[in-house]
Amino acid sequence: MTTPVLWHFPISHYNEKARWALDWKRIPHVRKVLGPDYLPRAWWATGRGTLPILWLDGQAIGDSTRIIEALERRSPVPPLYPRDEAARRRALALEDFFDEELGHALRAAIVGPALADDPDGAIAVLTLGMPPRAGRMMRAIFPAFRAFYRYRHHITPETVAAGRGKMRAALDRIEAERQPSGYLVGDAFSVADLTAAALFAPLVVPPELQYRLPDPLPSVLVEHQRALADHPAYRWVADMYRRHRGVSAEVSP
Ligand SMILES: N[C@@H](CCC(=O)N[C@@H](CS)C(=O)NCC(=O)O)C(=O)O
C-alpha cells in the first residue's frame, strides 16, 4: 500500500475533518498544501473543484464525507462509525447535518465580513500555510478574487446575515443530541462528534488546532466568539478537541 496523500487547505474546516480522521486512525500520510492554482488541479483529480482530496491507493477521493467512508473501510480500527446499524445511520445523518447546515454558514458568517472589511486579515487567514507569494498574488487581484470567492461559496448579504443564527442552531443541535456519555451517538467518539467539532474549529479556535491562525484574529471572528462562547456546546467543541484530537500522523514525502 502506498502512503496516502492529502491535498488540503490548512484553514479549512472540511479539510480539518479529513486530517482528524487520518490522525484518529493513525494512518501515516503526506500532506500537500495547494495554493491559488488549486482549482484546475482539483477538477483534474476529481471532477469537482474543492479540497480536501485524498489520494488513496491510486484513487483521488474528493469530499470529506467520502474520504472518511473510504478510511473507515480501509482501516476500520479505531472506528469512526458506530457498529450498531441504527446508531451508524444516526451518526451519518448528523455528519450530513453539520456538513450542510453548519459548514457553509460558518464560512459565510466569518469570511464574508472579513472579505468586505478586512482584506489583509482575510487573505492572511485564507492563505495560511501557503508560500508568501500566494498572499501577494491574492492582494494583487483582490477584487477579482473576492468576487470569485463569494460566487464559489454563495456568500451574499443574506447568507452572511443568516450565518450566526445557523451557528447557534448547530450549537443547539449538539446540546439536543448529546447523550449521557457526552457523545452525540452512543457511548463513544464517532464521525458525528468529529464533524461537529471540526466544523466549529474556525470559530472556537481550540489550542489543539495544528495550524495557528494569524494574530490578531479577524475582528468579525472575535465578535462571533463573544456572542457564542457562553453556549455549553461551544465548550463541548473545545472539550472534544482536548480529549480526542490527538497527534498528527503526517509523515515527510
Ligand atoms: N462538501 C465538501 C466541501 C468542501 C469545501 O467546501 N471545500 C472548500 C474549502 S472549505 C474548497 O475547496 N473551496 C474551494 C472552491 O470551492 O473553489 C467536503 O466535505 O469536502
Indicate whether 69 and 96 sit together in one domain: no
Indicate whether 105 and 63 sit together in one domain: no
Residue pair 80/195 in contact by the 8 Å Cβ criterion: no
Indicate whether 139 and 211 sit together in one domain: yes
Supply the range of the domain harboring residue 40.
Answer: 5-74
Q: What is the pTM of this model?
A: 0.97
Indicate whether 49 and 90 sit together in one domain: no
Residue pair 129/212 in contact by the 8 Å Cβ criterion: no
14 lines ligand 1 (CB under 6 A): yes
**Atom number of ligand 1 nearest to Cα 65:** 19
49 lines ligand 1 (CB under 6 A): yes
Angle at 72 between CA 246 and CA 128, to 5 degrees: 50
Q: Which of 50, 106, 111, 195 for a ligand 1 pocket mutation test, highest count of atoms within 8 Å of Cβ?
A: 50
**From atom 10 of ligand 1, which residue's Cα is the shortest distance away?**
12
Ligand 1 centroid to 112 CA: how many Å? Answer: 15
Q: Of the residues 52, 74, 96, which one is the last residue of a structural domain?
A: 74
Indicate whether 166 belongs to any domain. yes
Indicate whether 131 and 199 sit together in one domain: yes
Indicate whether 253 belongs to any domain. no
CA 1, CA 56: separation in Å to the nearest integer? 9
| Residue among 65, 72, 140, 146 nearest 113 (CA) | 146
Indicate whether 249 belongs to any domain. no
Spell out the alpha helix ranges (H) of 10-100.
13-24, 38-46, 64-74, 85-97
Domain count, the chain: 2
Indicate whether 64 belongs to any domain. yes
Indicate whether 79 belongs to any domain. no
7 lines ligand 1 (CB under 6 A): no
Indicate whether 251 belongs to any domain. no
**From atom 13 of ligand 1, which residue's Cα is the shortest distance away?**
50
Q: Which of 7, 9, 14, 111 for a ligand 1 pocket mutation test, highest count of atoms within 8 Å of Cβ?
A: 14
Indicate whether 31 and 104 sit together in one domain: no
46 lines ligand 1 (CB under 6 A): no
Indicate whether 29 and 145 sit together in one domain: no
Rg of the chain, C-alpha, whole Å: 18
Indicate whether 34 and 119 sit together in one domain: no
| pLDDT one digit per residue (tens) for the chain, 253 residues | 799 999 999 999 999 999 999 999 999 999 999 999 999 999 999 999 999 999 999 999 999 999 999 999 999 999 999 999 999 999 999 999 999 999 999 999 999 999 999 999 999 999 999 999 999 999 999 999 999 999 999 999 999 999 999 999 999 999 999 999 999 999 999 999 999 999 999 999 999 999 999 989 999 999 999 999 999 999 999 999 999 999 999 999 9
Indicate whether 139 and 180 sit together in one domain: yes
Domain harbouring 220, CATH code: 1.20.1050
Indicate whether 52 belongs to any domain. yes
Indicate whether 184 and 215 sit together in one domain: yes
Ligand 1 centroid to 250 CA: how many Å? Answer: 21
Indicate whether 96 and 131 sit together in one domain: yes
Which residues are CB-contacts of 216 (< 8 A; sequence separation ≥ 6)?
Answer: 222
Domain harbouring 14, CATH code: 3.40.30.10
Indicate whether 145 and 216 sit together in one domain: yes
